[in-house]
Amino acid sequence: MTSILDQLRIMTTVVADTGNVEAVKRYAPVDCTTNPSLVLAALKDEASEALVMREIEAGKAAGKSPEEITATLTVAVGAALTELVPGRVSTEVDASLSFDVDASVTRARAIIADYAARGIGRERILIKLASTWEGIRAAEILQKEGIDCNLTLLFCMAQAVACADAGAFLISPFVGRITDWYKKAEGRDSYAPDEDPGVKSVRRIYDYYKSNGIETIVMGASFRNADQIKALAGCDNLTIAPKLLDELGSEEGVLERVLSPEKATGVPPVEMDEARFRWELNADPMATEKLAEGIRNFDKDHKALIGIVAERTQ
């Protein structure tokens, strides 16, 4: 009998939630997604260490600052990953720019230009932006320029609707972080898959998109256990960490498809403007708290990367 992971690959595009070169070689995903936290983890990977040091030494020789070297280092890791996957590699705009449309657009263009200088076309890259109102507006501008975007840190329907309206190529609604919040708020140790708040959130977004013929790809992210992944089998994409890929790869049994366009319930479209977006986000304490926390943590890891680069350039 084929593994659960092999069955999942038939109905869903599996994305590796890692910047670890060896992990990507091992799991052979279609796409890769990364962020500052994952690049930090990649620094501990021997296969990535030589790449990291080459980039740092080249930046140092060129007289670049630690901040500038960190920016090119992220692209260098992404460039290495494009050699290992047939699809896309997501590269994140600095979290500190999450509320600045113009700066986000400028940074995204610089990322694409850096990849182009390395011989990698924009069709291989997704620009990751936080799903703030400003991040979504930046994505709208970039999409019109032919730069595809991955809207991340997405926790509620208002964000999903706004991303669809902006023509985002892909969204990454989070599962585990939503579940974490509700477990703490409700004093729960666990949820059955069909009752899991994170799973239910992604299912609602998927239903809305398929009900309205929205082409934006839904990529479930941030999983805490394999049951959450199985409960979203059939979702367009799922980005999964190596530990859970291992678990799914070693498990046998029958995986039932849960999500499909044919099962859409006909949810009517929603008109979303800035005022409604901000109000609905504000009215959802989970989404408000997790979005802010996610931005802070990504920024913290970005600064940690700069610190490591600064130490290695002394």
Dump pLDDT digits (tens) for 105-127: 999 999 999 999 999 999 999 99
* Domain CATH for 177: 3.20.20.70
Predicted local confidence at residue 44, as pLDDT: 66
pTM: 0.94
Predicted local confidence at residue 192, as pLDDT: 97
Percent of the chain beyond pLDDT 70?
96
Predicted local confidence at residue 133, as pLDDT: 98
Domain with 166, as residue range(s), is 4-312
pLDDT-based confidence at residue 56 (cuts at 50, 70, 90): confident
The larger pLDDT score, comparing residue 52 to residue 206, is at: 206
Q: What is the mean pLDDT of residues 16-39?
A: 78
Q: What is the mean pLDDT of residues 220-243?
A: 96
Predicted local confidence at residue 45, as pLDDT: 67
pLDDT higher than 90, residue 34: no
Question: By CB neighbour count within 10 A (0-12 exposed, 13-18 middle, 19+ buried), where does 194 fall?
Answer: exposed
Sign of the alpha-carbon dihedral angle for 246, 93, 13, 154: positive
Q: Nearest 10 degrees: CA dihedral of 306, 53, 117, 149?
A: -50
Predicted local confidence at residue 30, as pLDDT: 86
Q: How far is CA 312 from CA 53, 69, 131, 309, in A?
A: 8, 11, 33, 5
pLDDT-based confidence at residue 311 (cuts at 50, 70, 90): confident
pLDDT higher than 90, residue 166: yes
pLDDT higher than 70, residue 147: yes
Q: What is the mean pLDDT of residues 35-48?
A: 69
User: What residues are annotated to the active site?
Assistant: 128
Domains of the chain: total: 1
